[in-house]
């Protein structure tokens, strides 16, 4: 198990983490320290314990907001998928109708061609030679 040192509110903390996660844990520590610095700038010196609790609540609130946005994005993606399925169904129905119309038209053209061919084989009086 790896260990990483993080600095929070001017104090160094040694934290254990999985091997290969050192950079990630250090980054999280830096973000938490930024929240502490932000609160200290807004509230002044309110004591380390209160500052840590406030920073924890701030980070939890940010996480809640991010989760809500993520749920909204997931809902939007699902609505888009449903819309795509609907459009695809309509497209397939239109395509089937087009193919059917094209086949019917081809049959009619063949029938007309056969009739013209028969007319061309008959004499002007309508009697075959």
Give the rounded distance of the alpha carbon of 75 from its chain centre: 9
Q: Is residue 25 part of a domain?
A: yes
Q: Is residue 129 part of a domain?
A: no
Q: Is residue 85 part of a domain?
A: yes
Q: Is residue 127 part of a domain?
A: no
> Distance between CA atoms of 72 and 81, rounded to whole angstroms?
14
pTM of the full structure: 0.63
Distances 47 to 22, 52, 54, 65, 70 between C-alpha atoms, Å: 29, 9, 11, 27, 34
Q: Is residue 67 part of a domain?
A: yes
Q: Is residue 68 part of a domain?
A: yes
Q: Residue 5 pairs with which residues in a beta bridge?
A: 14
25-67 pLDDT, tens digit per residue, is: 999 999 999 999 999 999 888 899 999 999 999 999 999 999 9
86-128 pLDDT, tens digit per residue, is: 999 999 999 999 999 999 999 999 999 999 999 888 756 555 5
Q: In a 10 Å sphere around its CB, with 0-12 CB exposed, 13-18 middle and 19+ buried, how is residue 96 labelled?
A: exposed
29 close to 5: Cβ distance less than 8 angstroms: no
Q: Is residue 128 part of a domain?
A: no
Q: Is residue 75 part of a domain?
A: yes
> Distance between CA atoms of 99 and 28, rounded to whole angstroms?
59
Domain boundaries, position 96: 2-121
Q: Residue 7 pairs with which residues in a beta bridge?
A: 12
The number of folded domains in the chain is: 1
């Amino acid at each position: 198990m790896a260990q990483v040192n993080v600095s929070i509110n001017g104090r160094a903390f040694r934290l254990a983490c999985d091997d290969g996660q050192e950079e990630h844990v250090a980054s999280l520590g830096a973000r938490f320290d930024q929240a502490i610095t932000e609160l200290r700038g807004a509230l002044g010196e309110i004591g380390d314990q209160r500052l840590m609790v406030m920073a924890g609540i701030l980070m939890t609130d940010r996480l809640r907001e991010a989760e809500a946005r993520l749920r909204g994005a997931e809902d939007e993606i699902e609505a888009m998928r449903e819309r795509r399925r609907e459009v695809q169904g309509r497209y397939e129905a239109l395509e089937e109708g087009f193919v059917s119309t094209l086949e019917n038209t081809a049959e009619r053209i063949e029938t007309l061609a056969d009739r013209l061919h028969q007319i061309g084989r008959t004499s002007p009086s309508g009697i075959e030679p």
